[in-house]
């Protein structure tokens, strides 16, 4: 009677192939997640700028004043604190005001370093 089971060497070879394929895929998946988080930052900047327009806010001098008046920072879903700093996944940066509009500067990850998002970018 012939044995139809896999040998230990065959199992190790398959596991090695799976490990190689997954090691190639993980960095790409991580980059896609960072791109999605960057998109959330863009959405938050747009929402804060819409808030400025809808509330007709003229007397704000810094982003902290704006965020104190904003109803629900958690609704922006980027872990934004009252000082304008945010961190969502690997994406880290801060919000700032320029020309009475909210912009965001991303510090991390390195491939987005010093990227500025917002209407005041020229």
DSSP β-bridge partners for residue 85: 94
Distances (CA, A) of 64 to 6, 38, 114, 115: 63, 21, 21, 21
**Which of the residue ranges 19-28, 29-38, 49-58 would you say has the lowest mean pLDDT?**
49-58
Q: Are 78 and 88 in contact (CB under 8 A)?
A: yes
pLDDT digits over 49-101, tens only?
A: 999 888 877 778 888 888 988 888 899 999 999 999 999 999 999 999 988 89
The counts of H helices and E strands in the chain are 2, 4
Q: 1: pLDDT confidence band, cut at 50, 70 and 90?
A: low
Sorted by sequence, the CB contacts under 8 Å of residue 119 that are 6+ apart come out as 49, 101, 103
**Per-chain mean pLDDT for the chain:** 89
């Amino acid at each position: 009677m012939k044995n139809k089971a896999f040998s230990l060497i065959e199992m190790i070879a398959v596991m090695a192939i799976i490990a190689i394929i997954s090691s190639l895929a993980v960095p790409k998946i991580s980059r896609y997640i960072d791109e999605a988080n960057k998109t959330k930052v863009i959405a938050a900047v747009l929402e804060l700028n819409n808030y400025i327009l809808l509330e007709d806010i003229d007397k704000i001098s810094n982003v902290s004043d704006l965020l104190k008046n904003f109803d629900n920072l958690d609704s922006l879903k980027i872990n934004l604190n009252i000082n304008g700093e945010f961190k969502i996944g690997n994406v880290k940066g801060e919000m700032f005001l320029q020309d009475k509009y909210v912009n965001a500067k991303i510090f991390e990850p390195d491939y987005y370093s010093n990227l500025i998002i917002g209407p005041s970018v020229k």
